[in-house]
Every structure is written in structure tokens, then in C-alpha cells.
A = this chain, B = another copy of it.
């Protein structure tokens, strides 16, 4: 074992705490997750946690930033694969709905996150997924594909629709069966943004 530099040790500590927090928050929810248990699971104590993240909310914020970044990568991949920008947007939202089925994302990003930290758009990291969607929609408006609506408004409503779609699917008796229904309904809704073909 080679001696590690100071900064590397710190980064490793933060990573271990965030990892443990993701597991605990996803499994028990933010409120029920004990910081004693969580830090012990990472081989540390609450001292490390308060030193690195300030308080419990700070840790949640760090976890959310990490997950948000991961989601952004996946969304980017989906969109790059699509043939047109419009289909790219739809593909992104389909992927978003699918991602939101993962308990970790649903519990942390969609339920506890807003409840504890407030409106996602006000988060320090500015919710990269939302920002990205807004820019894409604006581009589609400029290109004449989409009606001249407010891009941010459209992005937010689509995000909300996708979120509820995921909650619905996740709570369903047979998630596999309702998934296509949700995606279909979503695409019908989104089509309302297209410019009339006349």
C-alpha cells in the first residue's frame, strides 16, 4: 500500500460517505436513515460527515449532485443516438421515465429531494437534466419544429409528466405492463407542442 496524498484521502472519504448515503437513503428514505449507521457502514463516524458536508442536508445535496450527473450522461447518450432532435427529445424522456423506475433515483431524486431541499430548479447544481431539456426545446422552437411556447415552461411540465409516469409505473402491480402505456401517453402529450402541420 503506497502512501496516498492528502487530497486523495479526502476524496476517498467523501466518496465512501456518499456511496453509503446513496444506499441508506434509497433503502430507508432520507428521514429514516440514521447518520450513525450510515457512517459506520462506511467505516467512519459522524465527525467525518459533519466535517465534509456540514449537515445531513448537505450530504443529501452531494448525493443528489452525483446522481444528477450520472443521469445527464445517460440522457446524453440517448439523444445522440436519435435521428432527429425531436425524436432525440422523446428518447431522452423515455429514458428518463425508465431511470426513474430505479428505487434509488425515485426515492432520492423525486420524492425526498424536493421535500427536503425544495424546488429542484433552485438546487445549487441547477438540476442539469432540466436545464438540458430547456435548451433542447428552445432549439426546437428556433428550428420551427415546436410551437413558440416558453421553453422552460414546456420543459418543466414534461418533467413533471415524466415524473408522475414513473411513480405510476413503480407503484403498479405489473410495472412491465403499464410502462408502454405511460410512454405512449407521454408522446401524445408531447406532440401537443409540435406546430400544426397545416
Contact = CB atoms under 8 A, between A and B. Distances in A.
Contacts of A163: 160, 164
Q: How many copies does the complex hold?
A: 2
A118 B164 contact: no
B121 A111 contact: no
State the main secondary structure of chain A at its contact with B: helix
A149 interface: yes
Nearest to A165: B157
A137 B100 CA distance: 25
A185 B158 CA distance: 10
Contacts of A170: 119
Which size bracket describes the interface of A in this complex? Answer: 35 or more
Interface stretch (A43-51, A64-72, A176-184): A176-184
A189 interface: yes
A122 interface: yes
A153 interface: yes
B157 A185 contact: yes
Nearest to A166: B160
